[in-house]
Amino acid sequence: MKAPLTASRSPRTVLVAAMLSITNFVAVFDGLVVTVALPSIQASLGMRRLDAQWLITAYAVGLGGMLLFGGRCGDRYGRQTTLVAGLLVFVAGLLLAGFAWAPWPMFAGRALQGFGAAFAVPNSFAIISALRPAERRNRVFAAVAVAGGLVTQGLGWRFVFLLTVPVAAAAAVVAAKVLDEARAAAPAEPDLLAAGLSVAGLALLVLAITDVERAGPLGRETLSAFGLAAAALVGFALRERRTAAPLVPVRLLRDRALRAAVGGLPGFVFAYDGTVFVGLLFLQQAAGFGPVEAGLAFGPLGVAVLAGSPVAGFLLRRLRWTVVVAGAQLTCVAGLVLLVRVPVTGGYSTHFLPGLVLIGLGAAVSAIAFNGAAGSEADPRDQGSVYGIYETAKYLSGAIVVATLATAAATRATAADGYRLAFAVSAVIALVGGVVPLLLARRGTGAMP
């Protein structure tokens, strides 16, 4: 039996922290870099513009649809086992996409990456939530950064996938050797019918949301997908009431910390993901930047995210997490207001750069606070399910970001005006995301446990 993870700075503890950081990094890295590489992949494989959007959608559908099931499998079958299996599936998807010779294996590879991430990510967060003390846990929650333009243009788009393979594979090997196995004390087999309905409902919901950009909110295909998603999710809710092994136990719905974290999450996602999505398009389509220049221009965002980690730890030891989130989201709003004011030419240093720094700092603090708060009041046997719910909310929010901001940008006559409107929408939702946790969290809750 391996020793439990404590405050010790032993090599094993450091290795575990690094492995869990890498697990979450590769999932975020992969999704972001594919956004930057999209034009290159489209041209190389001869995709139509609308087909190319499936590079993003296939990953989002696989990930968003499986997160609830992946989290519960960790509680039932063991978080180490589920995390390693997820990483191996992720690696298989990377290889298929990296060697794709036509659009369909690329789409299949992207879906496999989504499935693998859905099993790895919530269980890595569940393991992180068990780290002690809170300061160490918060540092691990913070280890995600932004990169990609140089890889895309300098080495070619295939290396976006292939260079990630050894990193993800190494994380799987380390996880199998150093992680403790953790599962519920009295495990019950997941209800497969409920699991199937949740996967179908969530996948169709993600598909419907991402289809808004292409077909519009009232398009026949979009409405059909929303209708089918609603039917599947209603069936899932009815099945959950009757099964002895629900994917989402009722006790989790009463968890005020989880509800507050999920309620405020869209504000953080619009601030961070919205900035990345809209900002990269703005720089390349309105300001005339190339992929390398756009990637380098976003460097300060990644640096600010890393710099925000110790700031978050300092604040969370002294203040209520809801107060920390409110301040962090206001910081994001200030940064987004600067982006709204960016002129098409000559405004990078005076508006875009300080805007990215503010958003990076605010987003880092928000992410750490939300991640820690989501599992702070949950029973240890439910940590996988808690982070399955949390990550599902995050990726649904991410799909909504793309659909909402792309639609907002398309309503203006010029690309620059459209992107400014998208930044303004993100600022409003980011502000709401700072207020909601103050209203929903348990009053009198102190600093993060």
Domain ranges for the chain, please list them. Answer: 13-180, 251-449
Query: Is 1.10.540.10 the CATH number for 251-449?
Result: no
For 13-180, which CATH class?
mainly alpha
Contacts 24+ apart (CB under 8 A), 176-179: 176/80, 176/84, 178/2, 178/12, 178/15, 178/16, 178/19, 179/2, 179/16, 179/19, 179/79, 179/80, 179/83, 179/127
Number of other CB atoms surrounding residue 50 within 10 Å: 10
pLDDT of residue 125: 76
Tens of pLDDT, residue by residue over 285-337, are: 777 777 667 777 777 887 888 788 788 888 988 899 999 999 999 999 999 99
The whole-model pTM stands at 0.76
3-state secondary structure 231-294: HHHHHHHHHHHHCCCCCCCHHHHCCHHHHHHHHHHHHHHHHHHHHHHHHHHHHHHHCCCCHHHH
CA distance 240 to 417: 46
DSSP state of 381: G
Exposed, middle or buried, 445 (CB in 10 Å: 0-12/13-18/19+)? middle
Q: Do the domains at 13-180 and 251-449 have one common CATH topology?
A: yes
Separation between Cα atoms, residue 54 and residue 31, nearest integer Å: 12
Longest dimension (CA), the chain: 64
Below-70 pLDDT ranges, the chain: 1-39, 48-53, 128-160, 163, 178-188, 213-218, 291-292, 344-349, 442-449
